[in-house]
Amino acid sequence: MFSTFEKIKELTKKQGISLNDLEERLGLGKNTLYGLKRNQPSAERLQQIADYFNVSTDYLLGRTDNPNIASDKEKFYFEGQEVDVEELASTAMRFNGKPLTDADKKAIQNIIEIYLRKQ
């Protein structure tokens, strides 16, 4: 089995959609994605899927564990919704209600990112 199918399955799960939903959104025939269990996709199909998820084709092919396209900001999802981790960290306050320093906000942002990556 090719890792491409598993990567696509993982990405759909993170976005809270099914493989059938993805096929509909991309205008693919029913069970087209299940065919990737046995066969590698064409370059055009691979690019179409990569563009939809905003990941690199190398990630879909299993050539890298980094889904980001070069110099692209990583996206995070919580309960199927994209979240802005930087915004979440900036809304945090200290226990005594004082604003956080930029270093504190960055530390909280890193903690949130680690948590979301493990989801």
Side chain identity, residue 69: I
Q: Give pLDDT, residue 79.
A: 80
Q: Which two tokens stand for residue 8?
A: 């696509």
Q: Give pLDDT, residue 2.
A: 57
Q: Decide if 37 contacts 2 (C-beta within 8 A).
A: yes
User: Which residues 6+ apart lie within 8 Å of 7 measured at CB?
Assistant: 59, 60, 62
- Tens of pLDDT, residues 19-74: 999 999 999 999 889 888 888 888 999 999 999 988 888 888 888 877 766 555 67
Domains of the chain: 3-60 (1.10.260.40), 76-117 (no CATH)
Using 50, 70 and 90 to split pLDDT, how confident is the model at 1? very low
Indicate the average pLDDT of the chain: 83
Q: Decide if 15 contacts 9 (C-beta within 8 A).
A: no
pLDDT greater than 50 at residue 104: yes
